[in-house]
Amino acid sequence: MTTNTTEATPIEATTGGPTLPQERRLVTAIPGPKSQELQARKTAAVAGGVGTTLPVYITAAGGGVLVDVDGNSLIDLGSGIAVTTVGNSAPRVVQAVQDQVAAFTHTCFMVTPYAGYVEVAEALNRITPGDHEKRTALFNSGSEAVENAVKIARKYTGKTGVVVFDHAYHGRTNLTMAMTAKNMPYKDGFGPFASDVYRAPLSYPFRDDQMDGAAAAARAIDQIDKQVGAQNLAAIVIEPIQGEGGFIVPADGFLRALTEWCTANNVVFVADEVQTGFARTGAMFAVEHDDVVPDLIVTAKGIAGGLPLSAVTGRAEIMDSAHVGGLGGTYGGNPLACAAALAVLETIEADGLVDRAAKIGALMTQRLLDLQERDGRIGDVRGRGAMIAVELVRAGTTEPDADLTKRVAAAAHERGVVVLTCGTYGNVLRFLPPLSISDALLTDACDVLDEVFEVTK
């Protein structure tokens, strides 16, 4: 491991967690020399298709900061794409994983099981929306869980069609590439893709003249009726707030109308909460904002504080329709990931992180709305809780400005604030701070954003 030996950097970046100094602190250019050296090695060793947004190499992280090999301390507004929601190396997670790794690392739940898997299933059955009887199956990645939700819905309904939406992101495996909307970089040249996947129009208030939720749902349902037919359709899969597609919050009533149509037509309604789940949006799950109870809910990312874990949770009769042995995988519900997940849930509750997400959202949204008043290039400020974005356009129009978005992100990175971009048009700057971040760091990050919008004029 490379330790920090730069004279100007007293930060001992070997242990992460919330006790790391909570400050933005730049001691080299970004990326610094050691990061650049590692990046050169990466180029020589790692497949070119695996990109990096910001090539600073991290040695420790926690609270609201990422510390790199050059001793820079950056403000984290990305949480490793909505994963370290409880914070990096959150103390309960560290302790639980350390205890588990010393006890046993793996047996394969399908061979000789262990309690952690069952406890995570019980917890998910309890905390996901709806008081019906539920079952859960555990997997490793978000994509894998989405695939399994589709398998289960097909088995249950005896039908095969799957409807997804414009701007959707569901993963990079073959079936989930078919379900993901955007060609570059996710799909280009990687086909042929899985069949029987159909795309319907979304509710995208900023880009559909603020069409109301009922009208947007009617438009989608009409297209589904005409182009697929409920009698051929196993599932509708939708992100309650789209993530990679641009942090698109559908108009009120859109999701609810879709669920009602699904219920009336024996179609399984699947909420992909991989990015929105686990307190991120100021509710445990984003569908709660819409008062929607999905048949199946897919979770990953924030579930286990950075350990790979994902889940499908839902109505017992649907989940149990798959034959014994039909669901599984060598590592699904790995003991370390399960221990981490239980510690994550405890942390969310003990630290009041659902409320914290709402407060972070209120603070950042106000700052971004103030900025929007001064800057016509911010077309839209949107999101829920600590899942917030600005959509950048040519001032006075809705024409996407991807180039500006790149420049703004780069200027933030240079100043030590890790932000991510997203959106079909590449023009959305998104913020996913860990819920362990302090108000002081958030305010500093917002000051930096004010500055970068100024210098990119």
Chain contacts with ligand PLZ (rule: CB under 6 A) = 81, 141-143, 146, 169-172, 239, 243-244, 272, 274-275, 300
Could you tell me the smallest distance in angstroms from the CB atom of residue 209 to ligand PLZ?
26
Could you tell me the smallest distance in angstroms from the CB atom of residue 319 to ligand PLZ?
19
Please choose, from the candidates 76, 70, 37, 18, the residue with its C-alpha nearest in 3D space to the C-alpha of residue 412.
76
Q: In three state form, how does the secondary structure of 345-392 look?
A: HHHHHHCCHHHHHHHHHHHHHHHHHHHHHHCCCEEEEEEECCEEEEEE
Using CA atoms, how far residue 256 sits from 226, 240, 395, in Å, is: 21, 10, 34
Residue closer to ligand PLZ, measured from CB, 168 or 251? 168
Residue closer to ligand PLZ, measured from CB, 13 or 163? 163
Using CA atoms, how far residue 330 sits from 112, 113, 326, 371, in Å, is: 12, 12, 13, 49
User: Between vectors from CA 335 to CA 333 and to CA 336, what angle results, nearest 5°?
Assistant: 110
Residue closer to ligand PLZ, measured from CB, 68 or 239? 239
Residue closer to ligand PLZ, measured from CB, 31 or 171? 171
Adjacency order of strands within the sheet including 296-299:
134-139, 310-315, 296-299, 268-272, 233-238, 161-165, 197-200
Q: How many whole angstroms separate alpha carbon 3 and alpha carbon 13?
A: 7
Could you tell me the smallest distance in angstroms from the CB atom of residue 244 to ligand PLZ?
6
Could you tell me the smallest distance in angstroms from the CB atom of residue 172 to ligand PLZ?
6
**Other beta carbons less than 10 A from residue 452's beta carbon:** 21
Neighbouring-strand partners of residue 311: 138, 299
Is residue 297 within 8 Å of 309, Cβ to Cβ?
no
Could you tell me the smallest distance in angstroms from the CB atom of residue 170 to ligand PLZ?
5
Residue closer to ligand PLZ, measured from CB, 142 or 400? 142
The token pair at 67 is 């510390």
**Residue nearest to ligand PLZ according to CB distances in the complex:** 142
Could you tell me the smallest distance in angstroms from the CB atom of residue 179 to ligand PLZ?
9
User: Between vectors from CA 199 to CA 125 and to CA 209, what angle results, nearest 5°?
Assistant: 100
The token pair at 8 is 């100007």
Residue closer to ligand PLZ, measured from CB, 21 or 55? 55
Is residue 302 within 8 Å of 82, Cβ to Cβ?
yes
Q: How many whole angstroms separate alpha carbon 68 and alpha carbon 99?
A: 27
Residue closer to ligand PLZ, measured from CB, 13 or 357? 357
Q: How many whole angstroms separate alpha carbon 245 and alpha carbon 272?
A: 13
Could you tell me the smallest distance in angstroms from the CB atom of residue 341 to ligand PLZ?
14
Could you tell me the smallest distance in angstroms from the CB atom of residue 396 to ligand PLZ?
32
Q: How many residues does the chain have?
A: 457
The token pair at 150 is 């589709």
Residue closer to ligand PLZ, measured from CB, 96 or 241? 241
Is residue 147 within 8 Å of 176, Cβ to Cβ?
yes
Could you tell me the smallest distance in angstroms from the CB atom of residue 176 to ligand PLZ?
7
